[in-house]
């Protein structure tokens, strides 16, 4: 029992076929892959593990489920070295150079939401993601699973002050856009680039101090009786609005 606890403390445990395949594709440092005796993993997974020289070990399904702390493993888990966080300045400079989009998650604590957001961010070509050290979900195995492995393809930085990041970004020529109620219709905004897009927590939205720093407050119009969106859904809509215009302008071709 002691050994199992230490494994979870010293390694990021990810589970599911696609997240493990994406971790292998991204060149993540995997200690080993564990496969349930009664499972038949995809050939792609085994071939990638062989190419990367990652040990594959057959174990009981009970062992798999204990490590993952869930029964929804598809019979596959991997022990991954803890995620490498980028320096915030690397992400800022990358975004400025690409005239791209930097995404700031303003104290989002639900790991399912964070994972879903990271998945969307990777799909729509976000340059990097900034999350605060305090009052924010850690990048744990739940986030990895919800992101379907996208977390391994995105530069992510943990910072002590979101305002300091915003100030640095603006000084280098970036624009700050907050997604919040009471602003301009997001579908009608001609966005300047590079951009840092700020999305806020479920209950409180974007922090007042961050809203005060925003150059633009973008609002998603709604006509239904429910007047709020889940933060991951709102982020998806906002990123899609930015992405489709960049495609139209040929910036992501």
Q: What is the pLDDT of residues 106-161, one digit of tens each?
A: 999 999 999 999 999 999 999 999 999 888 988 887 898 899 989 999 999 999 99
Assigned domain for 148 exists: yes
Statement to judge: residues 162 and 113 lie in one domain: yes
Count of structural domains, the chain: 2
Q: Which residues pair with 77 in a beta bridge?
A: 15, 34
More reliable by pLDDT, 82 or 177: 177
Residue 202 has pLDDT above 80, yes or no: no
Residue 103 has pLDDT above 60, yes or no: yes
Assigned domain for 108 exists: yes
CA pair distance 151, 22, nearest whole angstrom: 9
- The pLDDT score that the predictor gives to residue 31 is 77
pTM of the predicted model as reported, rounded to 2 decimal places: 0.78
Q: Domain span at residue 36?
A: 2-80
Question: Which residue shows structure tokens 């729509």?
Answer: 124
CA pair distance 68, 15, nearest whole angstrom: 7
Question: Which residue shows structure tokens 């399904």?
Answer: 61
Instruction: Tell me what percent of the chain is helix, strand and coil, each rounded to the nearest 5.
Output: 40, 25, 35
More reliable by pLDDT, 173 or 228: 173
- Give the strands of the sheet with 76-80, arranged side by side: 12-15, 76-80, 30-36, 55-59
Assigned domain for 16 exists: yes
Dihedral sign computed on CA atoms, order 62, 65, 71, 75: negative
Q: Which of 80, 104, 136 is the last residue of a domain?
A: 80
Strand 30-36, strand 76-80: pairing: antiparallel
152 exposure class (CB count in 10 Å sphere: 0-12, 13-18, 19+):
buried
- Give the strands of the sheet with 101-106, arranged side by side: 156-159, 128-132, 101-106, 195-200, 175-185, 216-219
Assigned domain for 76 exists: yes
- Token digits of residue 142: 């739940």
CA pair distance 174, 177, nearest whole angstrom: 10
Q: Where are the beta strands (DSSP E) in 112-201?
A: 128-132, 156-159, 175-185, 195-200
Statement to judge: residues 76 and 93 lie in one domain: no
Statement to judge: residues 62 and 120 lie in one domain: no
Q: Are 105 and 138 in contact (CB under 8 A)?
A: no
User: What would the mean pLDDT of 44-63 be, rounded to a whole number?
Assistant: 93
- Token digits of residue 122: 């990777």
Statement to judge: residues 50 and 113 lie in one domain: no
Q: Are 121 and 237 in contact (CB under 8 A)?
A: no
């Amino acid at each position: 029992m002691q050994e199992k606890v230490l494994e979870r403390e010293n390694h990021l445990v990810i589970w599911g076929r696609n997240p493990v395949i994406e971790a292998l594709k991204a060149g993540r440092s995997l200690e080993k892959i564990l496969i349930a005796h009664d499972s038949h993993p995809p050939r792609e997974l085994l071939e990638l593990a062989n190419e990367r020289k990652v040990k594959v070990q057959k174990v009981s399904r009970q062992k798999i489920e204990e490590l993952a702390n869930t029964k929804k493993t598809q019979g596959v888990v991997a022990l991954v070295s803890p995620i490498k966080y980028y320096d915030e300045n690397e992400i800022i400079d990358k975004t400025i150079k690409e005239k791209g989009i930097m995404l700031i998650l303003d104290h989002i604590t639900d790991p399912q939401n964070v994972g879903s957001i990271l998945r969307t961010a990777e799909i729509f070509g976000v340059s990097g993601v900034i999350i605060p050290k305090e009052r924010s979900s850690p990048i744990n195995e739940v986030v990895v699973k919800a992101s379907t492995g996208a977390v391994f393809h995105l530069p992510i930085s943990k910072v002590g002050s979101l305002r300091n990041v915003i100030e640095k970004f603006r000084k280098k020529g970036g624009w700050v856009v907050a997604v919040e109620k009471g602003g301009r219709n997001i579908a009608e905004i001609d966005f300047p680039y590079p951009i840092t897009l700020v999305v806020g927590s479920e209950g409180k939205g974007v922090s007042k101090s961050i809203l005060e720093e925003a150059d633009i407050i973008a609002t998603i119009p709604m006509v239904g009786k429910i007047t709020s969106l889940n933060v991951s859904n709102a982020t998806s809509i906002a990123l899609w609005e930015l992405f489709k215009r960049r495609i139209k302008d040929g910036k992501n071709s």
